[in-house]
A and B are shown apart, each in its own frame.
Chain A
């Protein structure tokens, strides 16, 4: 490591603007100005002008500009000017940040010119819901990492005893942009689980419907088996209803990326999708009493040891 550490006397005064404690957020502009007087600091001051010298003309401008109350002491360049008339296609560059924020919050289609990346593992987030950054190649992380960051829920992080390897090999997060989001779903009383693709649904209601479709038949077959062949309904099974509000025989819960079990429905759908790891359909009667307290807006069903 190069020995470039210099003691405080070498540090430019700009750094001394910040006190050592955490109150740097509240430092006022006036305090800053009083520090900028002494001559020894002049050489270390950040100045206008080309890097190759010619400071003489600029000094006067600097002392004048310091009188302006401004966190940008050298307010020479207006951030909003665009001298070469350059217009960024997406308008992000020259618009105030608020606008940029607003733009980014929508799940917008990226500018057509920017989607000309043929790679299927393209980081274009046009397909993703509510992507905060609909810009090709931003943030600058590799595809491997982008897939992890997509909240791919195919990894069995839960505490259950899963055999490793084969079960998840078909959905390794390392693969290119997942077109589906398959999560396991198990139902109380049904030994064989199913998988449901969350990308095919965009609301809790639709998910509930899908769950009903997945398990209705299985449930019916089981009860047929145990009841010695007596059918419930002609169409092959009783509908599974009331999954979302606790009114039915079963309730839908999920496990998130922290291993907690939570009731479906508390958070917006896209948030749910990004944190869900697996689903469970539990018998409503066996659910513990809901605790009323809120933890980050989630209602926890159990206090699993962490």
Chain B
């Protein structure tokens, strides 16, 4: 029957398929579905930019309008990957420009983006609307100027946590007067000055502006003027807040805030005097998202007062200065909380017991809808984790980081295996897990047994033997990304099921027990994997001994063989 289905009907049906897994599944049904699907796919997601080449992507999806690319492995965020490792977006932009792709949206994560790339991007795609760069580097404000000048229909320019060199140019002024289409502008990560007058004019003429995140260089009195022009804002980020509660600026800001009744999301406050926080009290009641994780200046008492007013909060990112007691306030106030991230505030005061297992337990008891957690804590106990697992069975992302990576249960001094075991057993929908603390192979047994939906697992300083890694590889059928550091897993575990790696996106292992010989064996056996070794050491003369341990290994499945842009220190076996 399927053969007689007219393509137009298939096409219409497929237009309702939005998720990538769904579309991928549909494309595997038969040739006809594959073809309809590939011509109708507008949004393409590529989790590893080296898994496929730009040319092949374009030839399969000629009508791509939106491209999402990810480059470096996750551990690059923590300085485990040297500069110039790769992940350059330029070839992709060149290929799409050549292929006359009608690109409208580009979302990049952990990629290297040069000014040249940005200029080419800006000039090659007349309908370009949205640029989102997360954790990228390699560009300057000159590149941003090119985007601003040339993208006539730009709606979104969202820069999150990028390393941007500031050329002290006037990139903001490069938005022409005719640009009125901006709905989202985020330049909080820029370090330099901006032309505040140009910014004010830009905001005034972009009536659809919903999301605005400013950097530190925008002073409070400008902030106040901008807000007065944009009471329709839904998301606001302000790094530079008022200092003096007696000042005129403060009064103006207070008044203007009261009119910003649409704001649902707030962030920034890098520089704020806590006594000026009452100015935002009027909007607190409507806030669903609050990010104070860059605000070390707000100490616990003020933080608690603020949170008391945020009863509708669904997402909260804070520093551990909030303390266990503060988390208790969150638990009793924010009943709709879904995502919580608690970051460490001070790594150098020995014995800084900012948050412990108590805070987490309180949150779990008070916030039953919690499904996403990132928690940096001084200590943890199995009992607490077991309680959390019982209270919150809905976790999709659970990332626990003890500041001491091998700390045991604070009460029983046992490993934290049972606690994490309870989490994976209870949270049937868990997709992402990071474990820490003293852990034996046992925890991996539990993970392999219970974490059926797990897609990403991060392991550090854990396990006793190859068995640990084997439990995970054998058990987690949906595993896509596995990253391991400083754990005693060696060749036996690496080579036990080599086919598994083709079902995964990537595997990272650093400071583990795998050797050059093991990696070579794997590379020989699996031609569709790139097994890359990163060598930062001085032993660059000739190949090292097979028995020598590999410091950093990154392997990933690919359809296009070894990458051609690997630097000297990366060896593809």
Contact = CB atoms under 8 A, between A and B. Distances in A.
Contacts of B345: 148-149
Given A1-B338, A1-B371, A137 B271 contact: no
B386 A18 contact: yes
Contact of A169 (B217, B297, B383): B217
A142 interface: yes
Interface string B283-318: 000000000011011010110000000000000000
B511 A114 contact: yes
Given A18-B386, A156-B243, A129 B348 contact: yes
B161 A88 contact: no
B407 A81 contact: no
Contact of B271 (A83, A168, A271): A168
B78 interface: yes
Contact of B216 (A72, A124, A130, A169): A169
B488 A93 contact: yes
Interface in A173-221: 173-175
A11 B62 CA distance: 49
Contacts of B407: 97, 100-101
A166 B191 CA distance: 12
B297 A92 contact: no
Interface residues of A, number: 99
B165 interface: no
B328 interface: no
A133 interface: yes
Interface residues of B, number: 111
Given A1-B371, A161-B244, A140 B401 contact: yes
Given A1-B394, A149-B345, A306 B301 contact: yes
Given A93-B486, A97-B406, A148-B296, A51 B348 contact: no
Given A18-B383, A144-B161, A159-B273, A86 B426 contact: no
A1 B371 CA distance: 8
Contacts of B401: 139-140
Interface in A71-103: 71-72, 74, 76-79, 81-84, 86, 88-90, 92-94, 97, 100-101
A125 interface: yes
Contacts of A132: 347-348, 350, 403-404
Contacts of B485: 137
A122 interface: yes
A158 B466 CA distance: 53
Interface in B364-394: 368-369, 371, 376, 381-384, 386-387, 389-390, 393-394
A14 B421 contact: yes
B83 A119 contact: yes
Contact of A271 (B217, B275, B349, B387): B349
Contacts of A89: 511
A81 B465 contact: yes
Interface string B203-236: 0000000000000110110000000000000000
Contacts of B490: 84, 86
Contacts of A141: 78, 343-344, 376
B429 A4 contact: yes
B346 A149 contact: yes
Given A18-B387, A139-B347, A141-B343, A122 B270 contact: no
Contacts of B77: 140, 142
A129 B75 CA distance: 25
Contacts of B293: 145
Nearest to A52: B474
Interface string B400-431: 01011111100111110110011001111100
Contacts of A155: 270-271, 296-297
Contacts of A129: 348
A224 interface: no
A147 to B, nearest CB: 10
B419 to A, nearest CB: 10
Nearest to B537: A116
B350 A77 contact: no
Given A2-B429, A79-B464, A164-B240, A121 B79 contact: yes
Contacts of A97: 406-408, 413, 438
Nearest 10 CB-CB pairings of A with B: A86-B488, A137-B78, A51-B475, A116-B536, A157-B297, A83-B465, A15-B390, A86-B513, A2-B429, A4-B429
Interface of B: 75, 77-80, 82-83, 135, 161, 189, 191, 193, 216-217, 219-220, 240, 242-244, 247, 270-275, 293-294, 296-297, 299, 301-302, 319, 338, 343-350, 368-369, 371, 376, 381-384, 386-387, 389-390, 393-394, 396, 401, 403-408, 411-415, 417-418, 421-422, 425-429, 434, 438, 440-442, 445-446, 448-449, 458, 460-461, 464-467, 471, 474-475, 485-488, 490, 492, 511-513, 536-537, 551
21 contacts: A1-B338, A2-B428, A2-B429, A4-B427, A27-B383, A72-B417, A76-B442, A83-B464, A83-B466, A116-B537, A118-B83, A119-B79, A132-B347, A135-B486, A139-B405, A140-B75, A140-B434, A144-B294, A165-B219, A169-B193, A174-B189
